[in-house]
Amino acid sequence: MRKITRGAAALILGSTLAASATAQVPGGTPPAPVIPPVTPITKVEVRPTGNAATVNGQVIPEVAVYRALRQFPEGQRDLARKEIMAHLIENVLIDQYLNAIKVTLEEKEIDALINELKAELAAAKPAPKDYAKELEAMMLTEAEFRTEVTAQLKWEKFIKTQGTDVALKQLFDTSPDVFDGTVVRARHILMTPGTDEAKQKEAAQKLRGIKQVVEQEAAKAVAALPATADALAKEQTRVTKTEELFAAYAKEYSACPSKKEGGDLNFFPRTGAMVEPFAKAAFALKQFEMTDVVSTEFGYHLILVTARKQGTAKKFEDVKEDVRMLYAMRLREAVIGQMKPKAQITMTTPPGATPNPAAAPPAPPAPTTPMTPMTPKN
């Protein structure tokens, strides 16, 4: 459930070349361990042709997906493709929004960033790198890379106009557990019903059924204790039975790779690791409480929090840059939330897959005014 954030955009573009470009522009979202390290590509590769999707008439070429997908082992590619596609579609929606509200750049701004990158590559150790060859290795044309850089710079410009000190301070004041270092540990069960409404209802019902069974069986285990059992013994029994059953159900039903560990995701912070709906739901729980069904871009989840480590209070100035990064993440989610529900998104069947095109609602009218500065909620 780890979200592809802008810090991982290097691998969406395909190599450390893009990472260098991304590093030049501050204010993005924090990196998250969502994509495995790049493995050397040794076989001769052919640039994919065709389109992976269209978003309000704008094409996402198959090669854009492949740049990221080729870093994954074959067995992980189906799940990875869904995550990559979701990220690329969101990027297009954001860029369409920025174009609609007329966020523009001067050519010299784009040139300056690319020239800095070229200089950095030329000075690379232990050996200089050639800009053109790096692009070729990523299956990127100069025009494609310039488009990516332009989109990122426009987004950074928009963040600066929205993320005023007043807005950042408000986010800090309303999100104490985000910046004090608090972390929770959780298990989850993921089901991926796709866009079919009947399958979505079925998945939600199954997850609620699992929750009910776990709670009932934990209660039975407590009731079976001797009458002399104290409150601590009862709670330990409830906790043990709850985690034992939840882990068993995760191993049997979850679509997440964490199923091997009974759905255990280990410790994670309030932001920067999990998608917002997931993190928000998990942090609202006490230890060994379960959520209702939580919907994210990955599917439907049932979450059980198993541990919590409380952080320590921080001063705003000490964590201002962390606040700015979270603000950028929340701003991205707000823009996507405005654009995606009415977007016309058509997915193309991946190479070698069985056709299953998905149609979305009609395209939205282009927004004509910028989003008002956000007041992100905890």
Compute the average pLDDT of residues 353-367.
41
Compute the average pLDDT of residues 14-18.
38
Among the residue ranges 32-41, 167-176, 202-211, 322-331, the one predicted with the least confidence is 32-41
Stretch(es) of the chain classified as CATH 3.10.50.40: 181-309
Going by the DSSP 8-state scheme, the letter that residue 218 receives in this structure is: H
The model's pLDDT over 23-62, given as tens digits with 9 standing for 90+, comes to 333 333 333 333 334 444 455 678 899 999 999 999 999 9
Look at the pTM and tell me if it is higher than 0.85: no
Structural domain 6-173+318-347, CATH architecture: Orthogonal Bundle (1.10)
Strands (E) located in 192-347: 264-269, 294-296, 299-309, 345-347
pLDDT at 21: 36
pLDDT at 39: 46
Compute the average pLDDT of residues 355-359.
40
Side-chain half-sphere of 322: how many Cα atoms within 13 Å?
Answer: 18
Question: What is the C-alpha to C-alpha distance for residues 62 and 76, in angstroms, rounded to an integer?
Answer: 18
Q: Which residues pair with 185 in a beta bridge?
A: 267, 307
Question: What is the C-alpha to C-alpha distance for residues 285 and 279, in angstroms, rounded to an integer?
Answer: 10
Residue carrying structure tokens 């995760």: 250
Highest mean pLDDT among 1-15, 34-48, 109-123: 109-123
Structure tokens at 156: 């950074």
Residue carrying structure tokens 């969406």: 12
Question: What is the C-alpha to C-alpha distance for residues 78 and 143, in angstroms, rounded to an integer?
Answer: 29
User: Is 365 a residue whose pLDDT tops 70?
Assistant: no
**pLDDT bucket at 352, cuts 50 / 70 / 90:** low
User: Is 238 a residue whose pLDDT tops 70?
Assistant: yes
Rounded to 5 degrees, φ, ψ at 283 are -75, -15
CATH no. of 181-309: 3.10.50.40
pLDDT at 375: 41
The model's pLDDT over 61-97, given as tens digits with 9 standing for 90+, comes to 999 999 989 888 888 888 788 889 989 999 999 999 9
Of all residues in the chain, the percent with pLDDT exceeding 70 is 81
Stretch(es) of the chain classified as CATH 1.10.4030: 6-173+318-347
User: Is 1 a residue whose pLDDT tops 60?
Assistant: no
**pLDDT bucket at 190, cuts 50 / 70 / 90:** very high
